[in-house]
Chains A and B, each alone.
Chain A
């Protein structure tokens, strides 16, 4: 008797612990997010403070000014202000560093920045010194490391006209908190050289040392804005802060999903707990406890669990946030600031963490607590039925709610995926529809447990022998309990499958478009926007037998119907054979006639052009009417206004192409073809060769990376759901002590008993994961449909199957602890009539 009581107490401690774990994980994630982003903000702000100390005033271009930056005349005026000891006109433009392979490094050109000497130098010089002549340069430390350059090397850097210039590297500089510089890589010059190299006409900012506010203000004029050093630091910190804000919002969204799953787990735990203590509660009522007292008791218990879980969660959050901070800093210290920062645990973090944890727990326990008050005192005297068992009947109210929600979800889903204009808005509508439909699934889930359980249990029931069959039956015996337990897993797995399907479909769509509309193998272009590739290169390639098509894309600025627009053309023989834009209006043939043009949907909208109208084109050498013969969908390697090749030449004369596309003859090895293209391009430093295959591969990698990050973040919700399974199973084991003892007496071995519980967990996990996968794939399909008109749906079979299999395995793992407890229980003790 005493031993069973003690066992019951132990079971209760474990149960409370398991409940608290759900809260701890959720709160830990949320508070960890705050700790991480606060620490990042603090680190960044500190770094800015240090660098802004060096600047007394900074001049920026006013918000209303038509200029892009501060003009050179302002610089000379400010320099002349009495008391000003130094000024620096900050230049920031493109200056592509040429790598050791003789081609510009990276996907986009490196930044060219001005680096002053003396007091106004706000970057840390890691090695060497700042540049002091037009022959010297400094490199971003990370960039130099990546490309294998160091102080003393000679490097080639392209100017804005893609002409190479040679420089001696005199220093390595940490451009530090500059996001763009750290992403693209940067090279630094003395201010005059920076202006020459980038072709910058204005300055980003003028930094001033000395002088007075009033005098600098007067010199800067009304069209410019003057900030003090502190104001500059605050402004920079604010701008960097938007990055942390995006990170925080994103992480908190996943935190909310985790809390939702936690809420389900807590709700389920308290429901079971109260069902099991029905007799205790009835006894309390017998000896005079009021309903309110019983209700209050349960509420208090939940508040204590919530508080304990949240406190643990805060501790976990500090650890998580600090760890993540170290991780982020290792990846990119422009986000974290360079200085040392201790974890920042603000009052807000503590309050938000505790409030969310306690409120979610108490709210989740509300319904079960209300059920507890309905216990009639006489129930203590009756021998109770097994709680939560029996066939689930879908009552009329629930059926109506489910039907309404289900119909609404489907209706909105159809609206988003089929009726609405394709694009982001339609995808959001589909996501909303998914949420609504999910609520319908929640409502009917108890009724689905039986059929789904039979489905999920088909294999284990057949192969698992008696324990397998019993386990499958057990998983279905308390439909509400199983439903809530599995739904928690459905959320995580559903979102995972949704992302997987959308990602796979996005990939498939992009690949399909490339193959269908634009099947080239290589493209040659420069890194800067207006750069061109010599047409001699096209001619060289055209002579090679390995290639079937050398396609030149030319582009030039002109005035169309009085507005600035780019007019482009593509090699005539390629249009319709290799370059196959999808025509929305008109035909490709019509658009190829002299005097005709086609325009992509977006440009047509922004310039107000319509198919069939004729507009005036004012080009450098020519003004002529142009008929808009067709409108096409973007994505076929061309965009903007496309005119026939002879017309283009008439308008602008003979031009170098912006891009050369190369199509390889069938049967020519890709590596061979690539070598020929690269050899041909090697004399032209700025001409960079990209292969479509590599592009596809890098796109696939990027998408997979994104999916992995999502998976990692959703993993928490899945882990919490697994704790939910362990929790439910633990409670069921306690409930079925007698039954397990009977089975053991009849000849079930310990191992079979353990297997029985593992299979039960497996079945529950598979029910949840399967439901999630079905919902995720269905709404992933709808979202894909909503994405674009020509989107291609792709089902990542392997991933989807893997989700279900992994969920099943994880469920089995969740059963390990409860199963061991069940097997350890003494048969004789459990058989004893209490």
Chain B
């Protein structure tokens, strides 16, 4: 049986009704025959524009695979994914690259920044790759909000872990992508630095109307989201709207994670 969630019920904190990215019957199989591993089994889910959604699930539940497929980093075995108005399943590697460049932002857990570039160069990298002129005002605003003003000329090895993640956030948002995908963005941070990063992600949704999809296994991190989607064994099994750390934890317990 396939659970399909086409939109958030209630919808109070959700701005638009058009989903930013949609997965429809997405399956992902590694290997063939007896050795086949079903990482995703017919996942159908939509992520609303202007919403902050967390994907949770135990290890091996397929949450990272789902994110990679949604972001056009990985190909699906079957099903379709629509990002904005474009169906990305079936796109060539070059088309996918262009799509990521223009419409997707990333924040990874680690190795987010290029060691040879300064913080500013790292932030502007996606814009330069796509050949767009950066909007200096917007750039200044993002840098200001993230408190990176005096760190722009530093290289990553001269920055703390929290500062590095904030640079990664700035990079993700400065190009105004359709969706930002965040993969365990606070996994390597202490709780204070983690809270700063999560606070910024949430405010970018509330104040700038950004769409964010975040994979995490931390209930506190998930509680910053508007909605949490739970994955187990490659299927979506549950969701919580307007989560709190306690409600997330309870649901995880109930799911046996």
- Which residues of A come within 8 Å of B, CB atoms? 385-386, 389, 465-466, 470, 473-474, 477, 738-739, 742-750, 752, 827-828, 831-833
Task: Choose, from B126-134, B135-143, B199-207, B238-246, the stretch at the interface.
Answer: B126-134
The answer to whether B255 has its CB under 8 Å from any CB of chain A is no
Q: Is B74 an interface residue (CB 8 A)?
A: yes
When distances are taken between beta carbons in the complex, the residues of chain B under 8 Å from A744 are 97
Contact call B114/A745, Cβ cutoff below 8 A: no
Q: Which residues of chain A come closer than 8 Å to B100, judged between CB atoms?
A: 745-747
> What's the nearest-Cβ distance from chain B to residue A334, in Å?
61
Least CB distance from A482 to B in Å reads 13
Residues of chain A within 8 A (CB-CB) of B171 are 746
Question: Does B151 count as interface, using CB distance less than 8 angstroms?
Answer: no
A793 to chain B, nearest CB (A): 41
Tell me if B173 counts as interface (CB < 8 A to partner A).
Answer: no
The one of A385, A828, A833 in contact with B110, judged by C-beta atoms closer than 8 angstroms, is: A833
The answer, yes or no, to whether B98 is at the interface (CB within 8 Å) is: yes
B21 to chain A, nearest CB (A): 16
Give the complex CA separation of A744 and B114 in angstroms.
Answer: 12
Within 8 Å of chain A (Cβ to Cβ): is B218? no
Of A470, A746, A748, A832, which is within 8 A of B116 by CB? Answer: A470
A466 to B110, CA, bound (A): 22
Q: Is B233 an interface residue (CB 8 A)?
A: no
Residues on A with beta carbons closer than 8 Å to the beta carbon of B110? 833
B253 within 8 A of A: no
Question: Per a CB cutoff under 8 Å, which of B101, B111, B129, B130 touches A739?
Answer: B111
Within 8 A of A (CB), among B103-117: 106, 108-112, 114-117
**A466–B128 contact, CB under 8 A?**
yes
Q: List 15 A-B contacts (CB under 8 A).
A: A473-B116, A473-B117, A738-B111, A742-B111, A745-B106, A745-B108, A746-B101, A747-B97, A747-B102, A747-B129, A748-B97, A748-B129, A749-B94, A833-B109, A833-B110
Interface residue tally on B, bucketed by range: 20 to 34
Q: Is the CB of A750 within 8 A of B93?
A: yes
Residues of A within 8 A of B94 (CB): 749-750
Write the chain A residue with the least CB distance to B113: A742
B83 within 8 A of A: no
Smallest CB separation, B194 vs chain A (Å): 17
Partner of A386, one of B68, B71, B74, B115: B115
Chain A residues with CB below 8 A from B93, complex form: 749-750
Complex: A466 Cα to B112 Cα, angstroms: 17
Residues in A with CB closer than 8 Å to B125 are 466, 746
User: A272 CA to B128 CA in the complex, in Å?
Assistant: 32
> When chains A and B are docked, how far (Å) is the Cα of A750 from the Cα of B100?
13
Interchain CA distance A51-B134 in the complex, whole Å = 87
Report the nearest B residue to A383, measured CB to CB. Answer: B110
**In the complex, which of the residues B64, B73, B98, B112 has the most CB atoms of chain A within 10 Å of its own CB atom?**
B73
Q: How far is the CA of A748 from the CA of B94 in the complex (A)?
A: 9
Q: Which of B74, B98, B126 contacts A828 (CB 8 A)?
A: B74
Inter-subunit contact B116/A747 (CB<8 Å): no
Evaluate contact between A477 and B115: CB separation under 8 angstroms. Answer: yes
Q: How far is the CA of A386 from the CA of B116 in the complex (A)?
A: 11
Do B114 and A743 touch across chains, with their CB atoms under 8 A apart? yes
Closest chain A CB from B130 CB (angstroms) = 6
Which residues in A have their C-beta under 8 angstroms from that of B73?
Answer: 745, 827-828, 831
- Chain B 151-172 near chain A by CB (<8 Å), digits 1 or 0: 0000001000000000000010
Residues in A neighbouring B115, C-beta threshold 8 A: 386, 389, 477, 739
Q: Which chain B positions have C-beta within 8 A of A738?
A: 111
Query: What's the least CB distance linking A669 to chain B, in Å?
Result: 62
CB closest chain-A residue, reference B116 = A473
Kindly report which residue of chain B lies nearest to residue A830, judged by CB atoms.
Answer: B111
B81 → chain A closest CB, angstroms: 15
Residues on the A chain within 8 Å of B64, using CB: 832
Bound Cα distance A571, B128 (Å): 79
Q: Are the CB atoms of B112 and A749 closer together than 8 Å?
A: no
Q: A473-B117, A828-B73, A831-B73 are in contact. Are A747 and B112 (CB under 8 A)?
A: no
Do A466 and B129 form a contact, CB below 8 Å, given A473-B116, A473-B117?
Answer: yes
Encode B57-82 as 1/0 by CB contact (under 8 A) with A: 00000001000100101100000000
